[in-house]
Amino acid sequence: MLLEEAAKKQGIEILDSEVDIDHVHVLASLPLDLSPLRAVGYLKGMSAKGLFILYAPLRSVYPKGHLWSPSKFIGSVGYITLDKAKEYLEAHHAKVIYSSLTGIPAPQRSGGVAPLGAIL
C-alpha cells in the first residue's frame, strides 16, 4: 500500500485508514519531531507520486500533477479514545456510498485501499 510505505519512511504509524469517494481518513501516530501538517503534506505528495507511477492514465486526468486538493483536516484524538476515533472511521467508510451509487455490494474492508475499479 502506497500510504503505508510512505508513512514508514517518516516513522509514521498508520493505525487505521478508510478511502471514501472523495477523501481519505487516516488515523496515525506521528513521531514527536514531525508536525501533523508536514505529515499530511508528505503523505499526500508521496501517495500521489506513487499513484501516478502505478496508474499512468491518471496523468491524463490530472496533467498538472495535482491529485489531492490542498484542503486538509487535522485533529488530535487526545480528547477522545482511540476506539472512538476508529469507530468514526468505520462509520464513514465508503462501502455505504459505493453500494448506493453502483447497486453492487461494496468490497470487504480493505485496510484503506479501495480496489482500482472503485477509484477509476
Q: How far apart are CA 3 and CA 13, in angstroms?
A: 10
pLDDT at position 88? 72
Domains in the chain, number:
1
Task: Give the start-end residues of each E strand in 1-119.
Answer: 13-19, 24-29
Q: How far apart are CA 99 and CA 81, in angstroms?
A: 30
- The 10s digit of each residue's pLDDT in 75-116 is 776 667 777 777 777 776 544 444 455 555 444 444 444 444
Q: Exposure string (b/e) for 81-116, b if CB count within 10 Å is 16 or more?
A: eeeebeebbeeebbbeebeeeeeeebeeebebbbee
CATH number, residue 80: 3.30.70.1290
The rounded mean pLDDT for the chain is 75
Q: Which domain holds residue 83?
A: 2-119
Residue positions annotated with a catalytic role: 88
